[in-house]
Structure 1
Amino acid sequence: MDACGERFVIVSGDARAEVDEIGGGLAGFAQGGRVRVEPHPPTARPPKGSGAVLAPWPNRVRDGRWSDRGTGYRLALTEPDAGNAIHGLFRHVPWTLTDRGGDHVVLTAVAPVQPGWPQPVRLTVTYLVGAGGLTVETAAENLGSAPVPFGLGFHPYLRVGDVPTDELELTLAARTALPARDRLPDGPATALERPFSSTPLAGLELDDTFGGCAPGHDDELVRHRVAVPDGGGTELWAEPAFGWVQVFTPADFPRQGPDGAVVASRAVAVEPMTCPPDALNSRTDLIELVPGEVQVLRWGVCATG
């Protein structure tokens, strides 16, 4: 295994996904002849969190400090310039292949007890492609001797083929926004003044957290979408446990063009999360992992229109 690990490719019909061994993250997804999730080249550190699995907490922990049941902990500051611990403990470790077929791959990894983290947590992530698109199922298990708080997120950048990001419209299932300072909560969530409903991305610079994500009428899933004005688009769906979403629109995502050259491009990450930033401190929507119990959470991506 080299520093970048293996790249697993799964295919079913017109759906094709790639998954990284290092980090266990999604390295691209296409359906219906169009790219739906930004790919990235094999690299030991995918750019801007591309495709990453975010656990046992997504987003950030302020100063890396948190406490549980009267015990204080200090995590490594993996966003040192801002003084935060960011995106969990699984992003840069090798995952173990436990099952593989033409249309699916199953990977597992353990975050062991370490400075700042008191119980071992095992994740098993299944990536499956089919006529309905991509489904990602995560099973989280506490291998330790005491309960531990847990949050999960993923970091896909959505695309609609070669349509530039600034020509897309964004729709979110969110109902609230979380005020932020230095990209961390700075007050309680407040009602969105204007929902994201076919909102043009042109001119929007976002690195913001939105909550209150809930299924619509006569539906069982949370749904976010990027689309072109004529209606064709890419949808990210998630189970209701993913009540939060981070939207990030960097101007310098390294995208590979048809000629193979890499150019800095606008991109849009739509990151489903089970809890908001700094949830290890606020305790908002944390999942309690009890030893011997397995929490299963699902989300996916598909073509629309």
Structure 2
Amino acid sequence: MRYTSEILDRTAGGKASPVVVLRDSRGPQRVEVWLGHGFNTLRWQVADPTRSGLVDLLYVDPAWEETAVPTRSGFPILFPFPNRIRDGHWVHDGTPQQLPLNDSTHKNAIHGFSPRLPWRLLSLDQDVDEISVTGELARADVPDGESLWPVDFRILVTVTLSANRLTIASEITNPDTQPLPWGLGYHPYFRHPAQADGDLSRVTLQTAARSRWELVDSLPTGVTEAVTGKHDFQSPRLLADHHLDDLYGDLPNGRRNPKSGLFWRATLGHADAPGRLEMNTSPIFRELVLFTPPHRKAVAIEPYTCTTDAANLAAAGKDVGWQLLPPGGSNLNVVELIWEPNAAPMVPTAAS
């Protein structure tokens, strides 16, 4: 049998978690999804292009098993809002809302509820072409959820492994009687197999983003500018010594994957070694955060359905992608990652 699965009992950060392991024997590939830690796809491992064995395409903090910091490893899910809400304060339908001030400055709310909570396992499914696992989180699973989010919600996420492909599909539903405000993001940390000791200097990145949001203290002012100079990744550019923590937008729904119909968002490669990782998404993912953590061993390419602080910017009349889902409604969206192990080195064409 090409695809197999198992459920392991693991512990990280002092908290036990079922871990669903998906395997592709022909690839070979291996995926770990940690239910007890935000349904995080912590590992996606593929065949090592230089020797036998597997190599990671996602970065995992070496201290994961001791600390399990929710948004510093793997593929964290950010819901019902990605990134920050200024002062943790926003207004819904005329009623002020207050969220915990849990970013690093303790001045803003960050990354919703989903990455910090255990999820329920709904199903494990497979056929001849793929294998998948589905998890669920609802507002009732959030401590003090009714006071923290004004409308009930349910989110299902399905992680599917197929030949050199990983897809993350989310279905958001509104079981309430009033419109559900929401935004969704992912915070994956990518590494190229050819990185030496985590060195990003020869890793190459290209994105579809044509504009960049002005940020002050990591929060958008509502002003955008066309990408220019070192901020322009529309052509392949070496990461070199770039220190990124930027919110990009204006992602055109142009180039599509002919098989999935999803739109191209970014490609990660290496200037000297084969292998490229392509990200495609549903059109609702209209923003992209690029982030190089201080350890410089990975780059985060984060697709968002809305900007940082979207709830407040939308209230100020800005077009930022903040969503309102009608009662009984649902939204299905997909992020697709394709690993091309034999693709030619990604030679930079833009100056770094």
The alignment's TM-score, normalised by the length of structure 2, stands at 0.78
Is the CA contact (8 Å cut-off) linking 1:58 and 1:151 kept in structure 2?
yes
Distance 1:204 1:111 in 2: 39
The Cα of 1:128 is off from its aligned counterpart by 0.4
Find the counterpart in structure 2 of residue 269 from structure 1: 300
Instruction: List structure 1 runs of 4+ shifted beyond 6 angstroms.
Output: none
Matches within 5 A, 1:144-223: 144-163=176-195, 164-194=199-229, 195-196=232-233, 197-217=235-255, 220-223=262-265
Q: Deviations over 1:60-104 (max 9, x none)?
A: 100001112211111111116241100011111110101014621
Distance 1:39 1:99 in 2: 25
Q: Does 1:250 align with 2:264?
A: no
Matches within 5 A, 1:15-94: 15-22=29-36, 23-33=38-48, 34-40=55-61, 41-42=64-65, 44-46=68-70, 48=72, 50-79=74-103, 81-94=105-118
Find the counterpart in structure 1 of residue 51 from structure 2: none
Task: Flag the 1:162–1:46 CA change in 2: closer, same or farther, 3 A.
Answer: farther
Higher relative contact order (CA 8 A, sep 6+): 1
Q: Does 1:297 align with 2:333?
A: yes
Amino acid across the alignment from 2:94:
G
Is the CA contact (8 Å cut-off) linking 2:194 and 2:270 kept in structure 1?
no
Amino acid across the alignment from 2:35:
E
> Whose radius of gyration is greater, 1 or 2?
2
Which one of 224, 227, 238 corresponds to residue 266 of structure 2? Answer: 224
Task: Flag the 1:136–1:161 CA change in 2: closer, same or farther, 3 A.
Answer: same
Give unpaired runs (5+ residues) of structure 1: 253-264
Q: Which moved more, 1:221-230 or 1:273-282?
A: 221-230
Q: Which moved more, 1:173-182 or 1:283-292?
A: 283-292
Is the CA contact (8 Å cut-off) linking 1:77 and 1:83 kept in structure 2?
yes
The Cα of 1:172 is off from its aligned counterpart by 0.9
Q: Deviations over 1:226-262 (max 9, x none)?
A: 111145221222111111011110122xxxxxxxxxx
Find the counterpart in structure 1 of residue 135 from structure 2: 107
SS at match of 1:58: coil
Distance 1:243 1:227 in 2: 22
The Cα of 1:139 is off from its aligned counterpart by 0.4
The Cα of 1:300 is off from its aligned counterpart by 2.0
Distance 1:168 1:138 in 2: 29
Distance 1:46 1:70 in 2: 32
Q: Deviations over 1:111-143 (max 9, x none)?
A: 244333101211100000001510110000122
Amino acid across the alignment from 2:291:
F
SS at match of 1:104: strand
Distance 1:63 1:9 in 2: 39
Task: Flag the 1:290–1:64 CA change in 2: closer, same or farther, 3 A.
Answer: same
Find the counterpart in structure 1 of residue 324 from structure 2: 288
Distance 2:225 2:96 in 1: 29
Task: Flag the 1:215–1:35 CA change in 2: closer, same or farther, 3 A.
Answer: farther
Distance 1:251 1:245 in 2: 19
SS at match of 2:284: coil
SS at match of 2:312: helix
Provide the identity percentage.
30
Is the CA contact (8 Å cut-off) linking 1:44 and 1:92 kept in structure 2?
no
Find the counterpart in structure 2 of residue 256 from structure 1: none
Is the CA contact (8 Å cut-off) linking 1:157 and 1:270 kept in structure 2?
yes
Distance 1:39 1:101 in 2: 26
